[in-house]
Structure 1
Amino acid sequence: MQQRSAETKEKILLTAQELFSTAGYDATGVSQICTAAGLSKGAFYHHFPSKHAVFMTLLQNWLDEMDAVFSTASVESNGVLAGISRMANSSDIIFDQVQGHFPLFLEFWSKSIRDERVWEETKQPFLKYYFYFSQMIKDGIAEGSVRPMDAGTASRAILGLAIGIILQGLLYPQEADWKTELQNSMDILLRGLQNE
């Protein structure tokens, strides 16, 4: 019974993701999700109190996937700059994750402009990585591998570079090898951070 319940919940999420990605959040209703999933509204409301709850679950699932990619990449490194470089080297996984969710990714950002709850959820991973990279830079300064600088500014530069290249790769996938571009660009940035 528990497995069936988990399968039903997953079916709702996958169907909603597809509909939100193709029709948009505002144009998708609970009835459409239920019809496309072949489920009753009762089954829907057993798992989720609202369409918004489904949307927020999808957002959190996506953020958790991205977090797992970054966490795995950053754990096995020798030194601060090597850790950041290793994270950039995981860009193939990042691009694959984001590529499949790009329409939904745009829906999250569009919705976050108008919905404070979505904005709060969406900004959390960026704040997390802002503080994470800030601390890495401070640690690098302390160990002598990073030249003295404002850690917050360096953190914003790292995030801005990564997000900018990922976004370009999604908007213009054929224009460049974006995985290589991210690594090469991050190498340039890291050379600027390095203490000589």
Structure 2
Amino acid sequence: MPRPDVSEERRAQILDAALRVFARQGLYETRMDDIVAESGLSKGALYWYFKSKDAIITAILEQLFAGSMGGLGALAESTEPADACLAALAAGIAEDIAATAQLRPVLFEFYAIAGRDEGVRQFLKGYYDTFLAAIEATVRRGVAEGTFRPIDSAAAAAVIVAAFEGLLLLQIIDPAPGDLGPRFVAAAELLFAGMRV
């Protein structure tokens, strides 16, 4: 059997199809055959790229969190005051959330799976460990530069991440308040105001 073309475009086609099916049917109800039908590819082509639904889920998680990881890299390299860096990170996360609003229910299914699946849990833990470390380092830098008062940088990082995640969860429970972006920015400013000298 000839080898299918290996391309990022084909891989993206499969992931986009999987996201549409997951959003429509949920993660547990979706079968590989559903993703095959949605993608318009053959079953062999799909399995060439992804051996299982779990592999697709992991790839989607990596894709969803890639933007935030880029923002964390910029955070570490920035020479701007720490509070400005964290405010820019919050605004960037808000933009990412707005751009992927239709995927929010799927994202929370991933969180539910993390309670039962070690692979997904380890992926999310790795992401959160990186996220916490970057914010903690920025808070520590803010204390050193005199932007923030002397505070426990690890505790501050945990509170910032918890506030962002809590807003996401509230949006799933009650989407009525509207656009999440401004609420993210407002929450960040309230937190940083309490941290500043």
The verdict on a shared fold, with TM-score over 0.5 as the criterion, is: yes
Partner secondary structure for residue 89 of structure 2: helix
Map of 1:140 onto structure 2? 142
Alignment of 1:170-185 (within 5 A): 170-185=172-187
Which residue number corresponds to residue 67 of structure 1?
Answer: 69
Measure, in 1, the Cα distance between the counterparts of 2:57 and 2:78.
33
Q: Does residue 156 of the first structure (1) align with residue 181 of the second (2)?
A: no
Q: Which moved more, 1:113-122 or 1:39-48?
A: 39-48
How far did 1:68 drift?
Answer: 2.9
Greater shift, 146-155 or 61-70, is seen at 61-70
Out of 12-21 and 89-98, give the one that drifted further: 89-98
Shift in CA distance, 14/178, structure 1 to aligned 2, threshold 3 Å = closer
Instruction: Specify whether residues 143 and 76 from structure 1 end up closer, same or farther in structure 2 by C-alpha distance, changes over 3 A only.
Output: closer
Deviation of the 1:177 alpha carbon: 4.5
2:80 counterpart (78, 81, 97): 78
For residues 95 and 4 of structure 1, do their structure 2 counterparts lie closer, same or farther at Cα, with a shift above 3 Å needed?
Answer: same
Q: Counterpart in 2 of 1:8?
A: 10
Aligned to 2:40: 38
Cα shift readout 1:144-186 (whole Å, capped 9, x = no counterpart): 2211121111101111112222332344333155322222222
The separation in 2 between residues aligned to 1:190 and 1:32, in whole angstroms, is 46
Count, aligned residues: 195
1:15-37 Cα offsets, whole Å, 9 max, x none, are 11111222122221212211222
**SS of equivalent residue, structure 1 residue 27:** coil
Matches of 2:74 and 2:170 in 1, distance apart?
24
Q: Aligned partners of 2:94 and 2:147: how far apart in 1? A: 27
Q: How much has 1:39 moved relative to structure 2?
A: 2.0
Which residue of 123, 126, 131 corresponds with 1:124?
126
* TM-aligned CA deviation for residue 105 of structure 1: 0.2
RMSD, aligned α-carbons: 2.4
Cα distance between partner residues in 2 of 1:162 and 1:102: 14
- 2-side partners of 1:174 and 1:189: how far apart? 24
Tell which deviates more after alignment, 155-164 or 5-14. Answer: 5-14
What's the counterpart of residue 30 of structure 2? 28
* Structure 2: 5+ residue stretches without partners: none
Q: Is the Cα–Cα contact under 8 Å of residues 78 and 85 in structure 2 kept in the other structure?
A: yes
Q: Distance in 2 between matches of 1:178 and 1:43?
A: 38
Q: Percent identity?
A: 24
CA shift at 1:70, angstroms? 5.0
Matched-pair contact (CA < 8 Å) for 1:162–1:182:
yes
The more displaced of 165-174 and 21-30 is 165-174
Q: Which runs of 5+ in 1 are unaligned?
A: none
* TM-score, structure 2 as length reference: 0.86
CA distance in 1, matches of 2:172, 2:27: 20
Greater CA drift, 42-51 or 83-92: 83-92
Higher relative contact order (CA 8 A, sep 6+): 2
Q: Is the 1:69–1:93 Cα contact (8 Å) retained in structure 2? A: no
